[in-house]
Structure 1
Amino acid sequence: MKKITVSLIAEKAQVSPATVSRVLNHRELVKEPTIQRVEAAMRELGCQIENTVTVSKETQPLIVLNIPGIENAFYQEIIRGARVSAKAHGCHLLIHESHLNKGNLLDFCNLLRRVDAAGVILLNRVSEEGLNQIRVIAPLVQCCEYNEHADYPYVSIDDSRAAELATEYLLSNGGSKIALINGPGNFKYARKRQEGFMNALRKAEVMIPKQWIVQLPEVSYEMAYAAVCRLLNSDSRPNAFFTISDVFAAAVIRAAKRFHLHVPRDILVVGFDNIELSSMTSPSITTVNQPKFQMGYTACEMLLELIEDPQEEMKSLLLDTELVIREST
């Protein structure tokens, strides 16, 4: 007698094995026509489906949200947005903290299987091969960070354009000697924001010393403070800073005070993200506002649509940013 497997049912119903699994375990996430197609295939194959598809009312689908680091305040609003969406649809949200790479991707995939993840939201940039491995287990949506060479949906911003506009604003306000305090180069946002920064300088025909472009290995206040102090302690120092994080901008303000420089009279400062800290410093920080809550919420909504219909063609989305003018400029 031929063994009836999920793959066999999927082939008969012309759906993916993941869809069959959801019909069996999370049918509330699947459209009724798809359920009927899978059940019809099961009947034709001789499956007893009455007890198989009974799902406990207490069973709630689990969405896994992967972030690079919980200590970065930027991620808090994204998590909140995803949680609001997940809760509205009767899903649990599990936060998984790790920089995903070849070394730990297998562990992550095993975790997804172990918790029977209904879907995945990724805030790490993952290789195309890695994305393919995750997609075999569950639908996925990329958020903030994304692999532009892979055909998987994402929600993000145009980092390059946002940085270019912020730099142009500094130039128009007299910040002709601009330094960049950047983050780890393995992140898309750091590369794109530096690209936008350099585009603005090129257009304005402004040249800066190579050492004024500072690349830090992580978003660390103390690292940024030490780096800015070195720049301000030199004979030729910048009169403006564009930083790719509000945490870095706060470090610039503290370093300026150490050298008895006034912000914004002597030093102009622009940050990025518009986290709560940006309005709490003295002076408050001019910054690029990212729609953080909206990104998390939208990523989860897109994922839930994919869970319901894995064959649906999902378009990626770039959300608008806004320069919030405050006291640091």
Structure 2
Amino acid sequence: MTGKIPAYKISKLANVSPSTISRILNNKKNVNPETAKEVKKIIYQLGLEKLRDETKIIILNLNDISNVFYQEIIEGVRSAVIANNCKLLIDQTEITDENVEEYVDFLKKHKIYGIIILKQLSREILKEIAKNIRIVQCNEFNPKVNLPYVTIDDYSAAKTATEKLISLNKQKIGLINGPRSFRYARERERGFRDALKENGINANEDWILSLPVIKYDIALPIVDQIFSTEYYPEAFFCISDTFGAAVVTIAKKHKLKMPEDLSIIGFDDTIFSQIISPPITTVSQPKFKIGYSAVELLEKYDLKKEHIILGTKLIMRKTT
């Protein structure tokens, strides 16, 4: 079958104007989502979907697909892609100043509909991509560029978690952070420090760690070294459940009772926080919804560049 989708015929079946059909086929804004869904259903039922010159391909670009944190985000993206009759490609290309032009050429050559970025890129790289294709920043974002993003309030989440530890009469509190090159790491540390300051607690810089990657095996010896000294924290806020699990393991090695001797709060509510014993109190972020919302932002892409900040929840378990 060749030719164009007959907008007039579809408009009759969907009981909408041909101009509305045109806006839907060209992914324009100001279209009721339910109307768009009904029109796409009719196109599919008529066997006309192959005539759409976009079989829309969405790329999800991320650093490390093995990172357990990304799994639910990927599932959210995948579900939204299916709901919108698109195709998904997962890409681990490291986009740099040196290869961004080549990368954009690839996107254009393969008629990529849009790209979701699960990492923070420079202002220059983002602007170069955005000149040529729809782009949404997911979880990480660069505040210096007015592009759409979906994320959480890392600062408030970290501050709330730290305040919870303080409410348990913990004064000696440590932080295990990831690389500060990431916005989330800087924001969570800022929330941690502000919670201590506002409660009259001096931060012990020896207990504020910034590890190069979020890996359980890397955290183990560093945490072990802290608990091998005479003076160690009575609580830890960990910016990842992976780090929280490492603290639990080392605490048990040193025969510390949790939460009596040591309280721990992690972040992300991944499977690590649930299966380790004792299970870890953690900040739960809506990972599936983050991924799903990123695709929705691509679908209603416009010059206003919508920003979505989703809420988090502190899940109480056995380490507090």
Same fold, judged at TM 0.5 (above): yes
Following TM superposition, the consecutive aligned residue runs of length 4 or more in structure 1 with deviations greater than 6 angstroms are: none
Deviation at 1:264, TM superposition (A): 1.2
Deviation at 1:110, TM superposition (A): 3.3
Output the amino acid matched with 2:76.
Answer: G
Say if 1:68 and 1:100, in contact at 8 Å, map to a contact too. Answer: no
Q: Structure 1 residues 107 and 249 mapped into 2: Cα distance closer, same or farther (>3 Å)?
A: farther
Corresponding residue for residue 18 of structure 2 = none
Cα distance in 1, alignment partners of residues 54 and 28 from structure 2: 18
Match of residue 147, structure 2, among 136, 152, 159: 152
Residue 208 of structure 1 aligns to a residue whose secondary structure is: coil
Question: Which residue among 213, 222, 226 is the counterpart of 1:218?
Answer: 213
Give the Å deviation of 1:327.
0.5
Equivalent residue of 1:137, what SS? coil
Deviations 1:102-141 (A, max 9, x none): 2443443233223321001111111111111111221111
- Within 1, Cα distance between the matches of 2:29 and 2:69? 38
For the 8 Å contact 1:99–1:124, the answer to whether it is kept is no
Q: Does 1:247 align with 2:247?
A: no
Contact 1:278 1:284 in 2 (8 A): yes
Q: Does 1:314 align with 2:313?
A: no
Unaligned 5+ segments in structure 2 are 1-22, 32-48
Q: CA deviation at 1:205?
A: 1.1
Name the counterpart of 1:199: 194
Q: 1:252 to 1:33 in 2, by over 3 A?
A: closer
Counterpart Cα distance in 1 of 2:99 and 2:216 = 27
Aligned-residue sequence identity (percent) comes to 39
| Letter paired with 2:243 | F
CA distance 1:218–1:98, shift in 2 (3 Å): farther
CA distance in 1 between partners of 2:285 and 2:191 (Å): 16
Report the residue type matching 1:325 in the other structure: M
Write the distance in 2 (CA, Å) between the matches of 1:265 and 1:288: 20
User: Within 5 A, what are the aligned runs for 1:68-107?
Assistant: 68-107=63-102
Q: Distance in 2 between matches of 1:190 and 1:98?
A: 22
Q: Is the 8 A contact 2:150 2:307 kept in 1?
A: yes
1:261 to partner: Cα distance = 1.0
- How does the TM-score come out when normalised to structure 2? 0.83
Displacement after TM superposition at 1:305 (Å)? 1.3
Hey, what's the Cα distance between the residues in 2 that align with 1:242 and 1:103?
Answer: 38
d(CA) in 2 for partners of 1:59 and 1:298?
Answer: 21
1:168-207 to 2 correspondences below 5 Å: 168-207=163-202
1:67 aligns with 2:62: yes
2:258 to 246, 252, 263: 263
Amino acid at match of 2:312: T
What is the TM-score with the length of structure 1 in the denominator? 0.81
Counterpart residue type for residue 226 of structure 1:
P
Question: Partner residue of 1:273?
Answer: 268
Contact 2:173 2:235 survives alignment (8 Å): yes
User: SS at 2:282's partner residue?
Assistant: strand
Correspondence for 2:108 among 105, 110, 113 = 113
Cα distance per residue 1:45-71 (max 9 Å; x no partner): xxxxxxxxx964696210011112112
Counterpart check, 1:327 vs 2:318: yes
Q: Which has the larger displacement, 112-121 or 150-159?
A: 112-121
Q: 1:90 to 1:176 in 2, by over 3 A?
A: same
How big is each residue's C-alpha offset from its partner over 1:296-326, in whole Å with a ceiling of 9 and x where there is no partner? 00110111111xxx44x23201100000000
1:16 match: none
1:167-191 deviation per Cα after TM superposition (whole angstroms, max 9, x unaligned): 0000111221111000011111100
**TM-aligned CA distance change 1:327 to 1:305, over 3 Å:** same
Q: C-alpha separation between the residues in 1 aligned to 2:30 and 2:74?
A: 32
Aligned-residue offset at 1:202: 0.3
TM-superposed CA distance for 1:209, in Å, is 2.3
When the two chains are superposed, the root-mean-square deviation of aligned CA atoms in Å is 2.3
Code of the aligned partner of 1:319: L
- Residues 230 and 98 of structure 1, relative CA distance in 2, 3 Å threshold: farther
**Gaps in structure 1 of 5+ consecutive residues:** 1-25, 35-53
Given that residues 28 and 300 in structure 2 are in contact (C-alpha distance below 8 angstroms), is that contact kept between their aligned partners in structure 1?
A: no
Q: Using a 3 Å threshold, how does the CA distance of structure 1 residues 83 and 208 change in structure 2: closer, same or farther?
A: same
Counterpart-to-counterpart distance in 1, 2:146 and 2:101: 21
1:290-309 aligned at under 5 Å gives the runs 290-306=285-301
Q: CA deviation at 1:99?
A: 4.2
Give me the whole-angstrom Cα distance separating, in 2, the residues matched to 1:270 and 1:32.
42
